[in-house]
Amino acid sequence: MEEIKLDLSNLDAALPSDFTQEQKAKAKTLFYKELAVAAHDFYRGKMQTVPKAPAPGFNWFNVWYTPGVSKISTSIREDNNQSFNLSNRGNIVAVVSDSTRVLGDGDCTPPGGMGVMEGKALLMKYLGGFDAVAICVDSKNEKGENDPDKIIDFVKMCQHSFGAIDLEDISQPNCYKVLDVLREECNIPVWHDDAQGTACVTLAGLINALKLVNKDIDKVKIVYYGAGAANATIARIVNAAGADPAKTIMFDSKGGLHKNRKDIEEDKRFYRKWELCQATNPDCVDDFPEALKGADVLISMAKPGPDLIKPEWISSMAEKSIVFVCANPIPEIYPYAAKEAGAHIVATGRGDFPNQVNNSVGFPGILKGALLVKAKKVTDNMAIAAAKAIAEFSEKRGINTENIIAKMDEPDVFPYEAAEVAMQAIKDGVARLEMTWQEAYDIAKKDIELARSTTKLLVDNGVIPQPPKEMIDKILKKTIEEVR
């Protein structure tokens, strides 16, 4: 079967020249979905386990296993911290989910989240230089309800095998309790990437976008559309970084969040939303189009569009407005439509549009930084330090309205970010190990280069095959026919 190295960034050129921008956007979404199914089936997933140590002769099994390994067990028994050095624990993360809110697709059943969790593991290895394993669990209790305590108990039991835990795709309000309890009761970092990771990268993008429009974070009016775990955490982190809560308005499906929302106050499970109700929207605005008038920034983490946010709403915003529409797989309004309506800077969660604000540029560096110093937790200060590191790295290499933050294909952003996170962990007193910024940067960079070169070695030697050209051509032809 003929094989091809396909750079999917050239997909636009492969689409018919007479396609409109909307047709191209639809075609790319459909193509990526269909190719995902075919490619995952071809490779049978995307992660595998390989040894990191050699076996030069049969007797080496007496070193790696019994009787030699007995000394490893007793050494760790005497000092549990030795598990970070004498096993892979210090360089492996568990990606844990109950798959109750997978991207924009809702509850996909526990095994339905495996594609996303394996995807996170792949990015952690390739971009962050550390190992990860996907673990999808059933959180339902005897009543058939998704029970956050089941996830909490599971993570607390398995934490001793990992250097950190990455929580993913847990529906609200369960995600709040799961994260907050585990952050305090586990002795390793527990990180909710949908919330903290998205908040970190959004803040990084916002910092640079505000620089480009010459506006100060403490003076801008920010409107949030959607009040799930992502936006609720974004608002908390952005406020901690200097935004004025009194100039902030957030909307959920029932209207604006404010002090009169008794439905939120009475449901104690939504305590994070209630905190925002008390701190933001002092005028109790309930109409979204009205709130958006004169706003400097819109951050939407709602549901897939593309017609959820109307162009006329964007037109009512302040001069040089900033619009983040980050629903996946289709943003709440297409970037070209937001631009036509007057938005100065538009960002989405997708890599095939300018300004991808996606946690994929954050979590590999953040978790690597935490692992480097064997941190006990990831503090909000560490998340803000990561955001500032991404923004600073991006600004140094150059930013503009179509390129506000670094992308996944800029590998140097990750060790830079990891070093800043490691230093903040030391400052916050949550690090088991101290090192200099340069030491952290050098280790992270070396590990990331090793991970990438290992993958390249396997591909170059045919151990990992290239995707078949005929498979890709077939899907592309089918996509064009369906969109046309």
Show me where the domains of the chain are located: 87-188, 194-435
- Report the Cα 23 to chain-centroid distance in Å: 28
What residue has token string 């089941």? 150
Beta bridge partners of 348: 325, 356
Count CB atoms within 10 A of the CB of residue 113: 28
Q: Please say whether the beta carbons of 251 and 210 come within 8 A.
A: no
What pLDDT tens digit does each residue of the chain (484 aa) get?
Answer: 334 345 666 788 888 989 988 898 889 889 999 999 999 999 999 999 999 999 999 999 999 999 999 999 999 999 999 999 999 999 999 999 999 999 878 899 999 999 999 999 999 999 999 999 999 999 999 999 999 999 999 999 999 999 999 999 999 899 999 999 999 999 999 999 988 999 999 999 999 999 999 999 999 999 999 998 899 999 999 999 999 999 999 999 999 999 999 999 999 889 999 999 999 999 999 999 999 999 999 999 998 888 999 999 999 999 999 999 999 888 999 999 999 999 999 999 988 889 999 899 999 999 999 999 999 999 999 999 999 999 999 999 999 999 999 999 899 999 999 999 999 999 999 999 999 999 999 999 999 999 999 999 999 999 999 898 899 989 999 999 999 8
Q: Please say whether the beta carbons of 103 and 328 come within 8 A.
A: yes
The third-level CATH classification (topology) of the domain covering 87-188 is: Rossmann fold (3.40.50)
The tens digit of pLDDT for each residue in 71-102 reads 999 999 999 999 999 999 999 999 999 999 99
Helix (H, G, I), strand (E, B) or coil at 131: strand
Which of 335, 288, 289, 336 is CA-nearest to residue 312?
289
Distance CA 484, CA 481 (A): 5
Q: Is the peptide bond before 67 cis (omega within 30 degrees of 0)?
A: yes
Rounded to two decimals, what is the model's pTM?
0.92
Which of 332, 326, 324, 322 is CA-nearest to residue 296?
322
What residue has token string 């036509």? 340
Q: Would you name the residues annotated as active-site residues?
A: 65, 120
Q: How many helical (H) and strand (E) elements, i.e. helices and strands, does the chain have?
A: 20, 10
Please tell me the class of the 194-435 domain: alpha beta
What residue has token string 């080496």? 60
The tens digit of pLDDT for each residue in 250-267 reads 999 999 999 999 999 999
Topology alike, domains 87-188 and 194-435: yes
What crossing angle do the helices spanning 363-372 and 437-460 adopt, rounded to 10°?
120
